[in-house]
Amino acid sequence: MSLPDKAFPVSWDQFHRDARALAWRLAGLNQSFRAIVCITRGGLVPAAIISRELNIRLIDTVCIATRHDYVNQGETQLLKGISPDLLADGGAGVLVVDDLTDTGKTALEVREMLPKSHFACVYAKPSGVPTIDTFVTEVSQDTWIYFPWDMGFTYQEPIAKGHKG
């Protein structure tokens, strides 16, 4: 297995700050959200933070599995749909939350279910940016984000040591 050259490890503290920054951006929209739909599994943590910050008590999940080998993204599979009451009116007033939009494939699938909802991600890659409405940090398409729930403590080589340029 070959991993991407660019790694972006994110600590728990940094992720919490970035998710709160996303909540600040969403609060600045002066839009009232009646519910959050988080895309699992990555959307669970930012949805918890955003629901607290914006005082949104109704949270649902849409469970989509993406088959991938940590380099290439594959086909998606819907494991659990969205509650019918949130699908009403195309999802108007619903905030969809995820940790990352990579290719935008998952966001487009959920957008078909909730065309009037607002899509927000903590991190975005260029291919996914057109599929969402609000995000905090953009990283290059060839960067792999290591989320804190996927990592343990390990030594990191200095960037210059492995730089090919």
For the domain that residue 119 is a member of, what is the CATH number? Answer: 3.40.50.2020
pLDDT at 113: 97
Query: Which tens digits make up the pLDDT trace of 16-72?
Result: 999 999 999 999 999 999 999 999 999 999 999 999 999 999 999 999 987 655 555
Among candidate residues 60, 89, 102, 133, the one labeled active-site is: 102
Residue 41 is labelled as binding a ligand: yes
Q: What is the pLDDT of residue 65?
A: 86
Query: How many domains, in total, are found in the chain?
Result: 1
Across 35-153, where does the E strand assignment appear? 35-40, 59-68, 73-80, 94-101, 118-124, 134-138, 143-146
Whether residue 163 lies inside any domain: the answer is no
In a domain, 161, yes or no: no
13 has catalytic annotation? no
| Residue 133 annotated as catalytic | no
In a domain? residue 156: no
What is the residue range of 54's domain? Answer: 7-148
98 is in an annotated binding site: yes
For residue 89, say whether it is annotated as part of any ligand binding site: no
Say whether 98 is catalytic: yes
| Complete DSSP assignment for 133-157 | SEEEEE--TTEEEE-GGG-------
Instruction: Select which of 89, 99, 133, 150 is catalytic.
Output: 99
